[in-house]
């Protein structure tokens, strides 16, 4: 579905991505695990055209994305839920959701999808006319996910969806991710909560300083002693 080949991204002469390659197969949950500064967010931003690579290739269903504008990438079925939620605080919950459907014209289908979002996030229906900036962190995250889903993506990319949220809300967010996947959406997930991410992932990649150092199934990486030590807070036995 999505293929990245030997991607290099530089910021002011410093390489944030040093020739990474990865694939996201249709119908899978793929997660990128790594510390701050590893290059995870840069990878997602490159996919949606917010960062222009120095070299390498990104293709989606065989189509070159590097020549596409961000709005066209969204129309083609890829949407990003950004780190920090980035809702529009002075607009209502409903207005935020409708912005997610900016590229669509069929009002009947948009209305159906709004009902779908409300069924997954009843709180967003209850607070339709509330300003998004007055929501709690967890509610804003639900709104950010709902807004992204209003574009009807085939590939949903999520950048640190659990960041700054209470443990109970984190659990709820991951249940929502699994439900979205069950609805047929492919997911590319960035998470510092490696344990939670790898438990739901079909495939995981470990990133370190702009490079991919490990790849495996979620279970394989959960059982990997280096991953346990570095990202799961578990000391390996000597």
> How much is the pLDDT for 234?
60
> How much is the pLDDT for 238?
45
Q: In the block, which residue shows the tokens 């590893």?
A: 38
> How much is the pLDDT for 5?
95
SS3 151: coil
Compute the distance between CA of residue 67 and CA of residue 84 in angstroms, rounded to an integer: 27
CB atoms within 10 A of CB 49: 19
What share of the chain in percent tops pLDDT 90? Answer: 55
Q: Which residue from 175, 174, 112 is spatially nearest to 149, judged by alpha carbons?
A: 112
We find that the CATH architecture of domain 2-231 is 3-Layer(aba) Sandwich (3.40)
> How much is the pLDDT for 43?
94
> How much is the pLDDT for 172?
85
Contact 59, 23 (CB under 8 A): no
What confidence tens digit (pLDDT) does each residue in 147-191 have?
A: 999 989 999 999 988 887 788 888 888 988 998 999 899 999 998
> How much is the pLDDT for 135?
92
What confidence tens digit (pLDDT) does each residue in 117-137 have?
A: 998 889 999 999 999 999 988
> How much is the pLDDT for 186?
96
Q: Which residue from 197, 172, 192 is spatially nearest to 83, judged by alpha carbons?
A: 192
- Which residues are CB-neighbours of 161 under 8 A, at least 6 positions away? 81, 141, 145, 173, 177, 189, 191
Contact 204, 197 (CB under 8 A): yes
Residues of the chain below pLDDT 50: 238
- Which residues are CB-neighbours of 93 under 8 A, at least 6 positions away? 124, 127, 128, 129, 130, 131, 132, 135, 143
Compute the distance between CA of residue 177 and CA of residue 145 in angstroms, rounded to an integer: 9
Which helix (H) or strand (E) is 143 found in, with range?
helix 137-149
> How much is the pLDDT for 235?
57
> How much is the pLDDT for 31?
95
- pTM of structure: 0.88
């Amino acid at each position: 579905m999505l293929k990245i080949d030997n991607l290099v991204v530089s910021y002011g002469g410093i390489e944030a991505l040093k020739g990474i390659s990865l694939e996201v197969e249709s119908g899978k949950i793929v997660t990128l695990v790594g510390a701050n500064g590893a290059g995870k967010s840069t990878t997602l931003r490159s996919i949606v055209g917010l960062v222009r690579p120095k070299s390498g290739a990104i293709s989606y269903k065989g189509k070159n994305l590097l020549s596409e504008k961000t709005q066209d990438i969204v129309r083609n079925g890829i949407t990003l839920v950004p780190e920090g939620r980035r809702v529009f605080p002075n607009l209502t919950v409903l207005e935020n959701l409708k912005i997610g459907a900016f590229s669509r014209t069929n009002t009947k289908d948009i209305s159906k999808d709004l009902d779908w979002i409300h069924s997954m996030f009843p709180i967003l229906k209850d607070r339709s006319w509330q300003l998004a900036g007055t929501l709690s962190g967890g509610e804003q995250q639900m709104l950010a996910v709902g807004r992204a889903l209003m574009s009807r993506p085939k590939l949903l990319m999520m950048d640190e969806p659990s960041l700054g949220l209470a443990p109970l809300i984190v659990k709820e967010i991951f249940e929502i991710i699994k439900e979205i996947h069950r609805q047929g959406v492919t997911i590319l997930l960035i998470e510092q909560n490696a344990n939670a991410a790898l438990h739901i992932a079909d495939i995981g990649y470990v990133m370190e300083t702009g490079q991919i150092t490990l790849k495996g199934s979620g279970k394989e990486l959960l059982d990997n002693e280096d991953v346990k030590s570095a990202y799961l807070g578990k000391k390996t036995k000597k």
